């Protein structure tokens, strides 16, 4: 017993950022370098809050959510509680499917296996269905059910948010096209 205690004290160290495997700026550099990502916000309308709450299975709070983008790629960093403490999860969405998921911080004492590449690789290429579910099964980890659920919910939510951004942009593009068309018609019809 005493030996175990001595060993514990020898191993004891002060770690910066408990359970933090990668900071958000480091993650963004990894994803976008050498480009500089553009930071933007998605406003949480009542309709979006309702659909997001259904996905995450609890109320979504706040006015807007920050994301980063470059071309058709968006990056979302969200925190979700597994059992008791928040897990920080980075999700890269490209062309409506998940390009990458990374656990940036894990603070609980069980379920840490979700940070392994063998687990997160299951999300690559996964899309969202019209029923706001992932279109592929994710194998769980025994004893880490709540952590797995948290990661899956955040993955689904990131795809849903990405979809909103894409739809909003498509709508804006269509409106612009309509306006341009109307302007051209006015020009041609002008006496």
Partner 1 sequence: MNKTFFAAIIGLNLAVTAQAAPSLEEMWELIQQQQAEITQLKTQLETTEQRVTETEVKAEATIAAVEEVSAGPVAKLADWADKTSIGGYGELHYNNLTSDNSNESKNEMDLHRFVVFFGHQYSDDLRFFSELEVEHSVAGDDQNGEVEIEQAFIEWDYAENHRAKGGVFLVPTGIINETHEPETFYGVERNSVEKNIIPATWWEGGAMFSGEFGEGFSYDAGVHSGLFIDPTKLDSDEAPDPDYKIRDGRQKTSKAKADDLAYTGRIKYTGIPGLELSASAQYQTDVWQGEKFAGEEDADATLLEFHTIYNHGPFGLRALYARWDIDNVIESVKPGADEQEGFYIEPSYRLTDKLGIFARFSEWDNQAGDSSDTEKQQYDIGLNYWLDERVVLKADYMHEDVEQGDEFHGFNLGIGWSF
Q: Which residues of the shown chain bind partner 1 in the complex (CB under 8 A)? A: 1, 4, 8-9, 11-13, 15, 18-19, 57, 83-85, 107, 109, 112-113, 116, 118-119, 122, 137-145, 149
What tokens appear for 20 in the block? Answer: 């933090």
Q: In what order do the strands lie in the sheet with 38-43?
A: 38-43, 64-70, 73-81, 86-94, 97-105
Nearer to partner 1, 1 or 186 (CB): 1
Least gap, CB of 74 to partner 1 (angstroms): 26
CA pseudo-torsion sign 150, 147, 104, 138 = negative
Least gap, CB of 4 to partner 1 (angstroms): 6
Residue 39, classed as helix, strand or coil, is: strand
Q: Under 8 Å CB-to-CB from 19, ≥6 apart: which residues?
A: 105, 106, 107
Least gap, CB of 62 to partner 1 (angstroms): 17
Nearer to partner 1, 133 or 181 (CB): 133
Nearer to partner 1, 81 or 165 (CB): 81
Residue 165, classed as helix, strand or coil, is: helix
Nearer to partner 1, 75 or 105 (CB): 105
């Amino acid at each position: 017993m005493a030996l175990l205690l001595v060993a514990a004290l020898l191993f004891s160290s002060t770690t910066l950022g408990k359970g933090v495997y990668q900071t958000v700026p480091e993650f963004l550099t990894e994803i976008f370098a050498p480009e500089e990502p553009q930071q933007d916000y998605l406003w949480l309308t009542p309709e979006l809050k309702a659909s997001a709450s259904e996905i995450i299975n609890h109320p979504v709070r706040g006015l807007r959510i920050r994301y980063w983008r470059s071309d058709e790629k968006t990056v979302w960093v969200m925190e979700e509680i597994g059992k008791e403490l928040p897990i920080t999860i980075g999700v890269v969405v490209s062309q409506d499917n998940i390009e990458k998921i990374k656990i940036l911080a894990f603070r609980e004492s069980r379920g840490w296996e979700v940070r392994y590449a063998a687990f997160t690789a299951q999300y690559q290429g996964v899309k969202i269905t019209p029923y706001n579910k992932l279109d592929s099964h994710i194998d769980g980890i025994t004893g880490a059910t709540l952590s797995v659920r948290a990661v899956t919910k955040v993955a689904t939510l990131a795809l849903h948010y990405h979809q909103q951004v894409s739809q909003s942009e498509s709508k804006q593009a269509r409106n612009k096209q309509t306006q341009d068309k109307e302007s051209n018609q006015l020009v041609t019809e002008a006496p």
